[in-house]
Chain A
Amino acid sequence: MTRYIVQRLLLLPFLLLVYSFVIFAIIHAPPGDFLTSYVATLSATGTSITADQINALRHEYGLDQPFIIQYFYWVRDMLHGDFGLSLEYQRPNADLIREQLGMTVTLAAFAFVLTWLIAVPVGIYSATHQRSVLDHVFTVINYVGVATPNFMLALILMWIAFAYFGISITGLFSPAYADAPWSIARVVDLLEHIWLPAVVLGIAGTARLTRIMRANLLDELNKPYVVTARAKGMREWRLVLRYPVRLALNPLVSTIGWYLPQLFSGSLIVATVMNLPNIGPLLLRALVNQDMYLAGGILLIYSFLTIVGTLLSDIALVMMDPRIRMET
């Protein structure tokens, strides 16, 4: 086991190097560079900037150098712990990411907890009460939940909130608290706003998880050991929760590692549509504007978290399920 983990960890730097190259190459692939996008943005708002200014900036940012040289500088700086400068924000990328991190993780954690709190009990209920009225109701809701893209749901909820309640539910704070220092009142304000994005972000996951939980549990409930336990007079709820549910959770645990990058990613489209201040819109903007060091930095952190998350899933599975052995 230890050996396996060490092996995986040793592979990590190599994988990251490969990823970094791929990421940089892809960000570089569209025609033009940050300044082309910048000029286009300016002219879309009725401004124009001179060719001299642009050329000076291009030289200043090193965008006139060959791809491989730019890549080399990027990697070299990152090895020194320097994520570079965001071309658009003119501030260190590390600062920008750090500023968004707290809110991103808070929101994702809310969605995550919501998902599990709903999905597991509902899944258990549906499986143990198969084909009951409530099971059918949950099933329909689940299918709708899985089938509705969450940004669509966000738009619908925003429209309902505006059309019927006259409020716009963008952002995570009321205007009065948006840039206020942290206080009890601000936390309350955050809680008032965060539930809706959390529901939107969590709903598809909840639906999917409920279906998996239900299916897994149904498989287990008919197995002989359950029948035996029941025959021996074990109380039904105690039985279900103690044995089949534990086994049914396995597939869920194996995906728990995937949440790590998701926690960090801040769900790009929903966050953009709902104007949530997290990493999603930051990445989207960086990609659209070809702010390549910022986009590269964020994507590289995703890659890192994906690798680590998968590893953590594997470890968690081994601990949860004694049947699994590591081949070394």
Chain B
Amino acid sequence: MLTKRALALSACWLLTLAQFALAQPGPAAAQGSKYHEAPALADEVKAGKLPPVEQRLPEQPLVVPVTEKIGQYGGVWRRAFLGPADANNYVRVVYDGLFRFSPNGADIEPKLALGATSSPDFKVWTILLRKGSRWSDGAPFTADDIVFWYKDVLLNKDLTPSVPTWIRNADGTAAKVEKVDDTTVRFTYDRPATLFLQEIANQDGPDQSYAMFLPAHYLKQFHPAYTPMADLDRQAQAVSFKSWTQLFAAKATPTSNPDRPTMAAWMPVTRVSDPVFTLRRNPYYIGVDSAGNQLPYIDEVRFTYFADQQALNLAAIAGDFDMQARHIQMTNYPVLKDQEKNGKYRVLIWPTFGGSDAVVAFNLTYMADPVLGKLLATKEFRIALSYAINRDEIKESVFLGLGEARQAVPAPWHPYFPGKEWAQKYTEFKPDEANKMLDALGLDKRNAQGVRLMANGQPLTVEINVVPAFGAWPDVGQLVARDWQAVGVNAVVQIRERALGFSMRASNQLQTEVWNEDTTAFPFTGGSKLDPRNAPGQTLTLGPLFYKWLTTNGKEGVEPTEPLKRIMQLIDTARSVGHDGQVAAAQELFRIWADNVFEIGTVGLTPMVQGVVVVNTKMHNVPTTIGNDWPLRTPGNARTEQFFFTQ
């Protein structure tokens, strides 16, 4: 399995250019009348409410491979969500993008788009759409819908105050996007954009943002370029919005507006702010299986609102959901496994996509106590503390024996994996070595309680900040603290509420903190935790003052150290070189990362983050192994439209 994955991964970049060719008509596509549809839709066609299926599908539909077998129509997929802030639950289920990541996360495949080609220098990208594809209201989906997004949303200063990185030129302006014909859009950068496909595979409207294709025919009525401002103001005020931009955002987000046409397999019929958020099959969905059955198989997706994660977990244990990993806590794995015998559901394990599921990250720019700050920034100090940790114990008692001890580097099957010696660097349990190294750092004097004294004579006290975002972290913090105390470092665990923890991080008040490193498969795109240029209020960081230095052009803050500068250089390089160059850059990056132990990895490759999956025994085509990560929109990359129920 692993070797197969590795092969697929290395092949992925060769495929990129060939994708257009690969996406040419599937077996059933050529013979139009061979398509089949859900019984409910067939009834509507008979009643004259809907055009026949071959007219609803594009000339070249997306042929979706099935995981096990051709499915049958019908059923309601029961899920749960935690309210409007959980809109990404929908994003993950539908994964409504022009392109999407493949199930193993190695490849990028065309979805709504037919394919893409790039110029040899990667500066010009051409996206081809499927001729005859339609929005859920039957209106044609064309290049104009991408141009509308570009011209009226991305370039509109009120809607998009600053150009997102992925579509930026080297000089900070937006790359040029133009319509070539109805099904062809050209993107022109002034720099090589080698990560283009990875980026657009995630421009599907996550975090209630704008997707890179919008239903222009519908949204023009909410945009001042097409509708008088007075009208918009009146409409905005009627629903308590202060400006037209808020109105536009609400109307353009599928989860908050069921009237907005969508391209996804299921379209919302209620709102994410309702007690039950319901999606119903999109009669115009562009996908079919190899037998010509229009997808999705499942009629409806119903998300039931839970105010509390514990109540949600109880309902999951009772078998109230048909397929759900989100919000299921890993600590409930044994209970779920035990209930499996009742025959209602099976439990799958989808380990995280590399990295480490609990790291102790150091603040390299801690200033409140300069003596301690200097220690935290010292590599040998961090190595000693890494050696002091008994990872086997953490693995057994916190992670239920799942996963492995490792530093925060990619998984072994990923091309960015820097090698076993780096994944395991400094992860051995060597308290004697740790003591020796700490003594050598001039911390050899101890007080009566056995706590080492710093250069200024103060006892060495290190605070470990824990935000209990994932159930097990406070326990990790306690175990690490005990191990550190054993080598004479007085570690104190502070458990803090999320928002407080985040704002303390942003204001440089944290010394060390427990979080996870889950961005190792995507070091160059999205909000990577490896890039010091990502804001400390947003993600885990090595030094808030580095960020300040970088954002104020060196006027304030602290200049990043050489290894960090090299990391930023590597990230920039990767954005403009081909696949091999990216692999080389990533491997070097992770060698630096592991060698400097900016964050101490404990245990990784566990199912901690949405990796314990409860699946109804009657639900099929759900893969047993899969790349599981947010950029992959798991379970969206499992191609949810081909999930089905047997009676």
Contacts and interface: CB of A to CB of B under 8 A. Distances in A.
Interface of A: 30-32, 36-56, 59-60, 62, 82-85, 88-94, 96, 158, 162, 166-168, 170-171, 175, 178-179, 271-275, 277, 281, 284-285, 289-290
Nearest to B89: A45
B518 A32 contact: no
B206 interface: yes
Given A40-B501, A92-B239, A277-B305, 16 more contacts: A30-B500, A31-B503, A36-B499, A43-B469, A45-B630, A48-B539, A49-B209, A50-B164, A50-B165, A51-B534, A53-B207, A85-B241, A90-B249, A90-B250, A90-B256, A277-B275
B470 interface: yes
- What 3 A-B pairs have minimum CB-CB distances, sorted nearest first? A48-B527, A281-B307, A40-B498
B97 to A, nearest CB: 15
Given A54-B537, A92-B240, A40 B467 contact: yes
Interface in B588-647: 609-610, 629-630
A29 B275 CA distance: 30
Contact of B318 (A44, A83, A166, A271): A166
A48 B314 CA distance: 28
Contacts of B206: 47
Contacts of B224: none
A175 B526 CA distance: 37
23 contacts: A31-B504, A40-B502, A43-B469, A44-B467, A44-B470, A48-B519, A48-B534, A50-B538, A56-B162, A59-B161, A60-B243, A60-B245, A166-B318, A170-B314, A170-B315, A175-B78, A175-B304, A175-B320, A178-B276, A179-B275, A274-B311, A275-B308, A275-B311
Given A40-B467, A44-B469, A277-B305, A96 B273 contact: yes
A159 to B, nearest CB: 8
Query: Which of A90, A273, A275 gathers most chain B CB within 10 Å?
Result: A90
A53 B209 contact: yes
Contacts, number: 168
B246 A60 contact: yes
B521 to A, nearest CB: 12
Contacts of A37: 498-499
Contacts of A62: 242
Interface in B517-561: 518-519, 526-527, 534-535, 537-539
B609 A46 contact: yes
A40 B314 CA distance: 24
B386 interface: no
B85 interface: yes
Nearest to B85: A41
A40 B470 CA distance: 12
B503 A48 contact: no
Interface of B: 78, 83-86, 88, 160-162, 164-165, 206-207, 209, 239-243, 245-246, 249-250, 256, 270, 273-276, 278, 302, 304-308, 310-311, 314-315, 317-318, 320, 326-327, 467, 469-470, 497-504, 518-519, 526-527, 534-535, 537-539, 609-610, 629-630
B314 A162 contact: yes
B502 A32 contact: yes
Nearest to A269: B308
Given A85-B240, A85-B246, A275-B306, A289 B537 contact: no
A29 to B, nearest CB: 11
Contacts of A272: 307-308, 311
A32 B314 CA distance: 32
Contacts of A49: 207, 209, 527, 538
Nearest to A83: B240
A169 B275 CA distance: 16
Given A50-B538, A90-B256, A39 B502 contact: yes
B630 A179 contact: no
Given A166-B318, A175-B304, A179-B275, A91 B239 contact: yes
A54 B537 CA distance: 10
A284 B83 CA distance: 12
A59 B245 CA distance: 12
Given A42-B207, A50-B527, A179 B498 contact: no
Nearest to B239: A92
A88 B83 CA distance: 9
B304 to A, nearest CB: 7
A171 to B, nearest CB: 8
Nearest to B255: A90
A163 B78 CA distance: 22
Contacts of A45: 86, 88, 326-327, 610, 630
A49 B165 CA distance: 12
Given A31-B499, A39-B537, A168 B469 contact: no
B256 A281 contact: no
Nearest to B241: A85
Given A91-B239, A162-B314, A44 B498 contact: yes
B246 A93 contact: no
B353 to A, nearest CB: 10
B318 A162 contact: yes
Contacts of B502: 32, 36, 39-40
A275 B161 CA distance: 39
B84 A89 contact: yes
A179 B276 contact: yes
B276 A88 contact: no
A289 to B, nearest CB: 7
Contacts of A42: 85, 88, 207
Contacts of A158: 314
Nearest to A166: B318
B88 A178 contact: no
Contact of B503 (A32, A60, A93, A171): A32
Contacts of B242: 62, 85
A307 B177 CA distance: 60
> Max chain B CB contacts within 10 Å: which of A32, A38, A42?
A32
Given A38-B85, A40-B502, A48 B239 contact: no
Nearest to A282: B307
B308 A48 contact: no
A289 B21 CA distance: 48
Q: Which of A84, A167, A285 has the most C-beta atoms of chain B within 10 angstroms of its own C-beta? A: A285
A93 B240 contact: yes
B307 A271 contact: yes
Contacts of B161: 52, 55-56, 59
Nearest to B245: A60
A32 B503 CA distance: 6
A32 B417 CA distance: 37
Contacts of B256: 90-91
Contacts of A275: 305-308, 311, 315
Given A167-B318, A272-B308, A285-B83, A84 B240 contact: yes
A46 to B, nearest CB: 4
Given A91-B239, A179-B274, A51 B307 contact: no
Nearest to B314: A168
Contacts of A290: 499
A258 B558 CA distance: 57
Contacts of A273: 308, 310-311
Contacts of B85: 38, 41-42, 88, 289
Contacts of B315: 168, 170, 275
